[in-house]
Amino acid sequence: MEISILNYYVRKGDTLESVARETGVSAEVLKRYHNTYCSLDELIGHDLDNVRKILIPPPEKIRELRENNSIVSKQEMRPSHYLFKNFYADNYKVSEHFEKPGTEGLIISYVVSINVHKLENKGFIIKTKSSEFKKNNEVPEDKISMLSISCMKALYPVAFTVPAQGSISGFYDYKEMIRTFRKKLQDPENFFVGEISQAYITQFRNYLDNEKLLLEKFRSTLLYQFLFPKMEWFHKNQSWEEKLYIIQNSFPVTCLMEAEYHDESDGHILTILRGNIKDGCTLQELLGGRKFPEHSEEPVSGEIICEYEKEKHTMQLLKAKIKIILKNKDKIYSTHKLILQRKN
């Protein structure tokens, strides 16, 4: 029996998901069909890098595949199981909101730029850089804020290694990053004088001398923890346990998570993650960054809500909203919100 197969030639900006959606089948079905009939050197892996053409089923075969895959519509609401280069836009506007009952709120806003490079069979190098910092909608002019921004500018861009499964695994060329930082740090050292400024710069240097400690400091931030999610989060059908940082520079705690998926009418896909702290740690332990052998206080509780909005056609991340509510003795201790939105 002769099989009629069509060829689709890959264009710039195409993803497996976008081509599958035009074809009318799920990305997984299209990938499986292509890999069944293509030559060994044309196999599709995690994405379409180095893929010149895709074998497309004929119309009669597409109808059959649709009938045999009743879960296609549900699967199309989710991105690939693996990270792909175009998952990220080039720039995102970010605002972080810090709230505590009885105190004045704080809003930190900035722009984060992302540059993605694919490593052959090893995931990705992702360089990030933050700029346009504002504090409560104004450019900060206090000395400590200016010094902190100057030190971070000397460190940027920060290059991370991120596997195809998602989530930061380490720094890319940490030694070169530190060498570059030390050269660029001369400017803030010469500009900011005085004991407090020099003590801050010395402490900043000490953090950089410890690669493991510096990596954990990045990982513990709300931005880097949820900007680089595990891709399996978008495919969970049952509740699961996840280690998350509830407070920056503290230790990760076990949270019980659930996911739900919504197909929005405006061409967007919405994934909502909800969770609660499961570990029996206390507020004092979280704030201090270490656990004690015995607890004299009742355990802290907390709620995590995370929304990822993606473009249906490309599955690119458009927007993310994360909220962590920390409670102590059934009263809200703090609320930390982060809103990230693609910058046009």
pLDDT tens for 14-54 read 888 888 888 878 787 888 888 888 887 788 877 788 888 99
Instruction: Tell me which of 55-59, 178-182, 204-208, 289-293 is least confident.
Output: 204-208
* Same domain membership, residue 158 and residue 273: yes
Window from 50-54, 73-77, 189-193, 286-290 with minimum mean pLDDT? 73-77
Q: Are both 221 and 179 inside the same structural domain? A: yes
Mean pLDDT of the chain: 86
pTM of the shown model: 0.77
What's the mean pLDDT in 142-165? 87
| Domain-located, residue 1 | no
Check residue 4 and give its pLDDT. Answer: 59
39 and 52 Cβ atoms separated by less than 8 Å: no
**67 shares its domain with 108:** no
Structure tokens at 86: 């175009």
Average pLDDT value for residue range 138-162: 86
| Shared-domain flag, residues 216 and 301 | yes
One domain, residues 155 and 211:
yes
Given the structure tokens 């053409």, which residue do they identify? 53
- Same domain, yes or no, for 254 and 317? yes
Reported as a pLDDT band with limits 50, 70 and 90, residue 1 is: very low
Structural contact between residues 111 and 132, judged by C-beta atoms closer than 8 angstroms: yes
Q: What is the pLDDT of residues 246-297, one digit of tens each?
A: 999 899 999 999 999 887 657 788 999 999 999 888 999 999 988 888 766 7
Q: Residue 187's pLDDT is what?
A: 61
Residue 115 sits in the same domain as residue 61: no
200 vs 173, higher pLDDT: 173
- Quick check: is 64 in a domain? yes
Q: By residue range, what is the domain housing residue 19?
A: 6-75
Residues 25 and 101 in one domain: no
Last residue of a domain, one of 75, 108, 128: 75
* Domains held by the chain: number: 2
Q: Same domain, yes or no, for 233 and 123?
A: yes
Pick the range with the lowest mean pLDDT from 86-90, 102-106, 141-145, 255-259.
141-145
Residue 56 in any domain: the answer is: yes
Asked if the structure places residue 48 within a domain, the reply is yes
Q: Is residue 272 part of a domain?
A: yes
80 is a domain residue: no
Asked if residue 225 and residue 320 are part of one domain, the reply reads yes
Predicted confidence at residue 190, as pLDDT, reads 58
Q: What is the pLDDT of residue 333?
A: 95
**pLDDT classification of 317: cutoffs 50, 70, 90:** very high
Q: If DSSP codes are grouped into helix, strand and coil, which group holds residue 341?
A: strand
Q: Indicate whether 102 and 249 sit together in one domain.
A: yes
Q: Pairing relation of β-strands 253-263 and 268-277?
A: antiparallel
Confidence of residue 69 (pLDDT cuts 50, 70, 90): low
Q: List the CATH number of the domain containing 110.
A: 2.30.230
Residue with tokens 């900006």: 13
Question: Residues near 100 by Cβ (< 8 Å), separated by ≥ 6?
Answer: 333, 334, 335
pLDDT of residue 2: 44
Asked if the model's pLDDT at residue 191 lies above 70, the reply is no
